[in-house]
Structure 1
Amino acid sequence: MKKALLLLLGASTLAGSAIAQTNVSIYGLVDAGIVHERGGATDSVTLLGSGIAAGSRLGFRGVEDLGGGLAATFVLEMGFNIDTGVSGQGALFGRQAWVGLQQNGVGNVMLGRQYTPLFNTVNAIDPFGGASMAGSGNNMLAEGGIRMNNTVKVAAVGTGPLVAEVAYGFGETPGDSSANRNMGAMLGYKSGPVDVRFGYHRNNNADGTDDGRSAMIGGTYDFKVAKAHLGMQANKGLVIINGRPIADTDTRDLIIGATVPFGANSLLVSYTHKDDRSAADGDARQLALGISHRLSKRTDLYASVARIKNDAPVGSVRFYTVGNGSSQGTGDRAFNVGVRHLF
């Protein structure tokens, strides 16, 4: 009995030591609001939505100091729908799940499910942050599916103005290394009021016979009274837009917008134009307006409205819909208002 007690105390001491050496934090975001959509293949709908300005989530982040500026890091982040309580993305940690090593002043190497470099590029350029509210650039811009599975990513985290990352997602198909494969890269310069980015993504379909390529360049300039946003994107082949794979794509896209802060508020406005050069000729134009009001550092109220004018017929694959942070949307017009809280 005495030996067992000593062993138990020793195990407890070791566990406590491990916990003390690893800094693990719990974080999250809860977001809900009212959404009204119309102009699609079905009747208009008004609903209580989750993750409109940003997807609701619960995450765990850990860092262990290994000495010499080297650290082990991990992120496990699950999405959920606050309106129903069900999990999102169809997986336990569907938002992010990776582990890696970080060298201070040099960079990170991360392995697991991660954001695509192209999504990070769009997120930096779009006034609505890539996938936020009715004005989401994701309604019409490709983002490489937002996340990549089975991915090795190398990202620079130096203190200088250059930012960069390269990612490779294994297709893991026996006998065909190109099937289901994803590759991406981002290069940027961020200094003072200037933030310029270039992002690229390439993906292969399940049989490895078709691929899609998307490239985007653009940036922002902060004039203090307002921030200007400008981006241009080119897409070719099988690309994913708003969660939908679209084959035989050949487009040139433009997004222009502004963020105007005043007091505890921020006004967001953007215009996105899609020039479809394929035989389908499915041009589209989106105009979006949004506003957020900070109640505190962690809580804000928001509202947004957007309209897409599609040349493609309702219900076709090139009929783009107005979604938000967690939904593809059902029509070409939408309004949403809600509350977001971070913890």
Structure 2
Amino acid sequence: MKKSLIALAVLAASGAAMAQSSVTLYGIVDAGIAFEDNGTDSVTRMDTGNLNGSRWGLKGSEDLGGGLKAIFTLEAGFNPDTGAQADSTSFFNRQSFVGVSSGYGTVKFGRQMNPVYATASTWDSFGDALAGDSSHLFSYNGSRTNNMVSYNYAASGFYGELQYGLGEVAGNNDIQDEESAGRTAAMFVGYKAGPFDVVLTHQNIHNGTDTTPYDTATKMTLLGGNYDFGMVKLFAAYAVEETESGILGNKRDQNDAHIGLSAPVGKAGTVMVSYIKKTDDLKADADAEQFAIGYIHKLSKRTALYTSYAQVSNDSAASYKAGKLATPAGNDSKLFNIGVRHSF
């Protein structure tokens, strides 16, 4: 009887080893007070997702043997100040994908981060967060892409990802046609070694519903990175965006430049500063710049306090904003916030 029990235990253990699986529930709750002034109006409000977007999610994997794993992530954003979904039309609005991974890379299917957003922490000293968020002036073209197929690989310091978002327009979604309606083709490639990390991203979005001359296409290319000197980490990036339209050959060319740094303050604090310049090559008096400063203080591995300030200065024909208030052309936009983030 004893031998039979031992045999059963060994069999059960070997079966578990062959098909191990795990599911993790995780999340972030982030909220604080913000004061915003657009030069004409001002408001004090409770803001959410200042340092990190508030969310809850499920992620898991199953060991399929031979180094192959099945993976998935389902992630939903919410607003803790009201309890509402961050996106009323999409429940798992942040990420929603399934895939397989091995030593040869990872393939994923579903809603995923686009290249500029996915690599922001590499070249933005604020990491796409707080009042210094680079997306105020940099053209992210959204943060995530629906219906995406991606392939990711990393080895020997090199890393990269190829992305294709299906346009899903019936009769006009040939994967080999660069003008396939609504499709997105994107990539990023980088190299990280010691204190040095650099990345190049490119995204090409075809926005039309068909291939008529009135369709538009948006192309975004960004080169950026950081270097950690120990006491100070320096960040820099330069991006070029080109939007073309079949209507009278209209197009828009914009250039974005970022320089910033972060530095530790004691054992628990980090201070960040940044300067961003947007240049519009086609529209007169439509340039803008942003200066920002911020501070994060970690109370523990999961809880942090933060505060930040940013000011966007617009030329007479520019109307970029530091927060949520629409900014009249030529006005400055100012944002100050303070809050707490807890992860679980």
Q: Is the 8 A contact 2:38 2:325 kept in 1?
A: no
Distance, in Å, in 1 between the alignment partners of 2:293 and 2:191 is 28
Which protein has greater RCO, CA pairs closer than 8 Å, 6+ apart?
Answer: 1
Of structures 1 and 2, the larger Rg is shown by 2
Q: Deviations along 1:140-188, whole A, 9 cap, x unmatched?
A: 1122311000000101133x10010010000000122221111110010
Question: Percent identity among equivalent residues?
Answer: 41
TM-score normalised to the size of structure 1? 0.86
Q: Which residue of 2 aligns with 1:53?
A: 51
Distance, in Å, in 2 between the alignment partners of 1:258 and 1:23 is 38
Pairing of 1:111-122 with structure 2 (within 5 A): 111-122=109-120
Q: Aligned residue pairs: how many?
A: 309
1:206–1:84 distance in 2 versus 1, CA, 3 Å:
farther
Amino acid at match of 1:294: K
How far the C-alpha of 1:27 sits from its partner, in A, is 0.6
Query: Structure 1 regions of 5+ residues with no counterpart?
Result: 1-12, 240-246
Q: Which residue of 2 aligns with 1:242?
A: none
Distance, in Å, in 2 between the alignment partners of 1:261 and 1:17 is 44
Pairing of 1:1-343 with structure 2 (within 5 A): 21-39=20-38, 43-89=41-87, 90-104=89-103, 106-130=104-128, 132-158=129-155, 160-177=156-173, 178-208=180-210, 209-237=215-243, 248-263=251-266, 264-313=268-317, 318-323=318-323, 328-331=324-327, 332-343=333-344
Q: Deviations along 1:261-315, whole A, 9 cap, x unmatched?
A: 12111000000001110134410000000000010011100000000111144xx
How far the C-alpha of 1:122 sits from its partner, in A, is 2.8
How far the C-alpha of 1:329 sits from its partner, in A, is 4.6
Partner-residue secondary structure (3-state), 2:231:
coil
1:255–1:248 distance in 2 versus 1, CA, 3 Å:
same
How far the C-alpha of 1:52 sits from its partner, in A, is 1.0
Partner-residue secondary structure (3-state), 1:138:
helix
Amino acid at match of 1:224: G
Partner-residue secondary structure (3-state), 2:117:
helix
Q: Deviations along 1:56-91, whole A, 9 cap, x unmatched?
A: 000100010001111000000000000000111331
Q: Is the 8 A contact 1:230 1:255 kept in 2?
A: yes
Distance, in Å, in 1 between the alignment partners of 2:316 and 2:190 is 35
Partner-residue secondary structure (3-state), 2:116:
helix
How far the C-alpha of 1:334 sits from its partner, in A, is 0.5
Q: Which residue of 1 aligns with 2:6?
A: none
Query: Structure 2 regions of 5+ residues with no counterpart?
Result: 1-11, 174-179, 328-332
Q: Deviations along 1:189-226, whole A, 9 cap, x unmatched?
A: 00100000101111121425110011000110000100
Q: Is the 8 A contact 1:118 1:185 kept in 2?
A: no
Partner-residue secondary structure (3-state), 1:52:
coil
Q: Is the 8 A contact 1:101 1:109 kept in 2?
A: yes
Distance, in Å, in 1 between the alignment partners of 2:338 and 2:130 is 9
1:124–1:50 distance in 2 versus 1, CA, 3 Å:
same
Distance, in Å, in 1 between the alignment partners of 2:196 and 2:80 is 37
Moved over 3 A (4+): 328-331
TM-score normalised to the size of structure 2? 0.86
